[in-house]
Amino acid sequence: MSKGKVVVLGSNATRIETRGGYWGATGQYLNETVVPAMALIDAGYEVVMATPDGTPPTIDKASDAPAHFGGDVAAYQRAKDFYANDPSMKGRTLASILEGIAGYDGVFIPGGQAPIVDLMQDQQVGEILRHFHAHQKPTAMLCHGPISAIAALPYAREFRAALIAGDPDKAEDWAKGWQYAGYRMTVFEKAEEQVIEDTILHAKIYFDMPFALGLAGAVVDTGPDFEPYVIEDRELITGQNPRSDHPIAKALVAALDRKVGHA
């Protein structure tokens, strides 16, 4: 019998705007999606993947390698098999989650740069996050995943548009009323982002994650580049980078166990 149910909010984005009017290929990171999902299932929780259009996320090619599993080829293959074949990863719409949202005990949002494109400005993501905040249900976000917290803003789309337009003052005006203002959180750090821009995108994105979250009212704290780092503040659990996959999984399972009475 399941201990409870956790929704994984995935992105459908496959490209991201970059400076100069270009687009770069993007997606969701394999390890960031699968490692926590498998940990949740192993701990006795039911996992449900949901995306804006109901189809599974595209895995970012940059993450499709054993290097993101500590060089463990067997672990990498298990992850690929899980993502391709496990029923939990098949995907359903965000609207279907909202219809039965009271039945979900936790939410997890993995990274890759894809959430910058769609999840951070998706109104249904905002509705989901407002529910979890109001009921203090465990809410975990990894790497670029924490930028999805912006969706809970009343004017998330306008906030994002102002950032892309290079108008932080206007963005700050649009950020009023954010439910996570004053929360401590971590996210993919600017120096880490630069590595991705230089070696994978070969272009610059319009804004960095700590700046955006700080502008909205978060207290952003980051650890050493590409080292595991997780912060818990009230119901919110955030991890800084891909290597934080196992620590955030452990923290989320523990928070769920406390919340649903299985500690």
Mind listing the pLDDT tens digit for each residue in 98-116? 999 999 999 999 999 999 9
Query: If pLDDT is split at 50, 70 and 90, which confidence band does 94 have?
Result: very high
Q: Identify the CA nearest to 185 among candidates 153, 151, 216.
A: 216
> What is the count of structural domains for the chain?
1
Contact status, residue 245 vs residue 37, Cβ threshold 8 Å: no
Angle, CA of 70, 73 and 77, to the nearest 5°:
115
**Torsion sign across C-alpha atoms 123, 127, 129, 134:** positive
- Predicted local distance difference test score (pLDDT) of residue 82: 98
* Domain of residue 218, residue span: 4-260
Mean pLDDT along residues 58-80: 97
Q: How many helices (H) and strands (E) does the chain have?
A: 10, 11
Beta bridge partners, 233, equal: 236
Mind listing the pLDDT tens digit for each residue in 135-155? 999 999 999 999 999 999 999
Mean pLDDT along residues 210-222: 98
Q: Identify the CA nearest to 89 among candidates 110, 105, 113, 63.
A: 110
- Predicted local distance difference test score (pLDDT) of residue 75: 98
- Predicted local distance difference test score (pLDDT) of residue 263: 52
* Ramachandran class of 31: left when φ > 0, alpha when ψ lies in -120 to 50, beta otherwise: alpha
Mind listing the pLDDT tens digit for each residue in 160-209? 999 999 999 999 999 999 999 999 999 999 999 999 999 999 999 999 99
Mind listing the pLDDT tens digit for each residue in 18-44? 998 889 999 999 999 999 999 999 999
Backbone φ and ψ for 239, nearest 5 degrees, come out as -120, 145
- Predicted local distance difference test score (pLDDT) of residue 1: 85
Mind listing the pLDDT tens digit for each residue in 114-129? 999 999 999 999 999 9
CATH assignment of the domain containing 172: 3.40.50.880
Residue 47's contacts (CB-CB under 8 Å, 6 or more residues apart) are 5, 6, 7, 8, 37, 40, 41, 88
Inform me whether the pLDDT recorded for 262 exceeds 80.
no
